[in-house]
Amino acid sequence: MRDPEATLRQHALPVTAQRVAVLRAVSQHPHATADDLAESVRGELGTISRQSVYNVLNVLTDKGIIRRIQPADSAALYEDRIGDNHHHLVCRSCGKTEDVCCAVGDAPCLTAHSHHGFKIDEAEVIYWGTCPTCQQKPRD
């Protein structure tokens, strides 16, 4: 994220310290939870309410400035990288999350064959596995 303030203005959002800080935090910590981000912002701003973190994240998500992903058994994660239709790879053991470019070309899984009369607008893909670190640990 080059300039959080400019980004906010481009979307007609009043610029506040909280928004700038949260947006910067999302940019610096991809795949962080709301709580992680709150912690991060507190290190920078000194203080921010839990509710404000949620407010900001919701507004930014609604405006399409950031993206929310919600893997099973995890709080929502946020990321900066949008518009490129990438997917995610999550470690079942530690939750570590990585970006994955759509494997076969641009949007293969996305071929929205109309099914059951639904109008499909997105195909979300999550690859589940075990990260290198966890592969070395003894499984319980």
Residues of the shown chain interacting with a second copy in the complex, contacts defined by CB under 8 A: 68-70, 72-73, 76, 89, 91-92, 98, 100, 103-104, 108-109, 111-113, 115-132, 135
Distances, alpha carbon 108 to alpha carbons 56, 86, 117, 122, in Å: 33, 11, 20, 12
The binder of 121, among a second copy, DNA, none, by C-beta within 5 to 8 A per type, is: a second copy
Q: Using the rule CB under 7 A, give the single segment among 31-39, 79-87, 116-124, 131-139 that binds DNA.
A: 31-39
Report which DSSP code applies to 138.
P
Region binding DNA by CB under 7 A among candidate stretches 23-31, 56-64, 86-94, 119-127:
56-64
Element spanning 88, H or E: strand 87-91
Return the structure tokens found at 29. 């910590």
